[in-house]
Amino acid sequence: MTLKLCGFSASNYYNKVKLQLLEKGVPFEEELVWTGLKNNPALSERSPLGKVPFIETPQGVILESSPCCEYIEDAYPANPLIPADPFAAAQVRHLIVYLDLHLELVARQLYGPIFFGAPAFAQERYDATRKHLMTNLAAFAKIAKFAPYVAGDTFTLADCAAIVHLPIIASLIKIIYKEDMYADYPQITAYLEAMKQRPHVQKVNADRKESTAALMAKIANMSKKS
């Protein structure tokens, strides 16, 4: 059975796993699964929190992007994106935790009003999130190497997370504050520019644009109905 990646290409977490699969050269299929548990028992059966991505393996479903990525590394050891050395491997993993948990998840608190048309929050909430994000960005910048990759001289799974998360967080701040979140971190801007040249990043971005248009149409349709 070919590995199946389930979710949609506008999702940054979906794209973290998709980029890993592409960079490693692992054959996979994609199954379009939108989120939203309402009237969707089939989704809750496979992903009880209604989140994507998840992968279908010959043995069953794996939830959450990081366990999916770890499974893929273990099951498909060719072209490793986690170093064999335990210390270097742990450094890749701590970078991913910073990116997923301390940057993306903080920014995600504002996605509803900023990207999906949910009612606006009070200004203090935006300001508090911005402050939190800038503190965590400074911490991330201390541990990320950008030499030229996030964890050093080799492309790793930490790059798969950075490439999909850092742009969306910056676009959130740009929309709210009209400011460049990475103005004091030219290494991040240069890194993201360089990563855009990678063919698999280009494929992920092209699919992301198409999927984002479909997602926006879906949201517009839903708000017309309600």
Ligand X SMILES: N[C@@H](CCC(=O)N[C@@H](CS)C(=O)NCC(=O)O)C(=O)O
The residue (of 97 and 147) whose beta carbon lies closer to ligand X is 97
In the complex, the smallest distance separating the C-beta of residue 7 from ligand X, rounded to whole angstroms, is 7
The residue (of 31 and 64) whose beta carbon lies closer to ligand X is 64
The residue (of 107 and 150) whose beta carbon lies closer to ligand X is 107
The contact mask relative to ligand X for 82-101 (x = CB under 6 A, - = no) is ------------------x-
Q: Is 154 in the site for ligand X (CB under 6 A)?
A: no
Burial 22-47 (b: 16+ CB within 10 A, else e): bbbebebebeebbeeeeeeeebeebb
Which of these segments, 45-53, 157-165, 189-197, 210-218, binds ligand X (CB under 6 A)? 45-53
In the complex, the smallest distance separating the C-beta of residue 47 from ligand X, rounded to whole angstroms, is 8
Q: Is 65 in the site for ligand X (CB under 6 A)?
A: yes
> In this chain, which of 52, 158, 166, 173 binds ligand X, going by CB under 6 A?
52
The residue (of 44 and 79) whose beta carbon lies closer to ligand X is 44
Work out the number of other CB atoms within 10 angstroms of the CB of residue 51.
16
The residue (of 69 and 151) whose beta carbon lies closer to ligand X is 69
Phi/psi region, residue 214 (left: phi>0; alpha: psi -120 to 50; beta: rest), is alpha
| 163 class by beta-carbon count within 10 Å (0-12 exposed, 13-18 middle, 19+ buried) | buried
Q: How far is C-alpha 219 from the chain's CA centre? A: 20
- Indicate the SS3 state at residue 30: strand
Q: Is 133 in the site for ligand X (CB under 6 A)?
A: no
Rg over CA atoms, the chain: 18
Q: Is 15 in the site for ligand X (CB under 6 A)?
A: no
Q: How many CA atoms lie within 13 A of 10 on its CB side?
A: 15
Q: Is 211 in the site for ligand X (CB under 6 A)?
A: no
Quick one: CA torsion of 15, 45, 37, 49, rounded to 10 degrees? -60
* Interacting residues with ligand X (CB under 6 A): 11-13, 35, 50-53, 64-66, 100
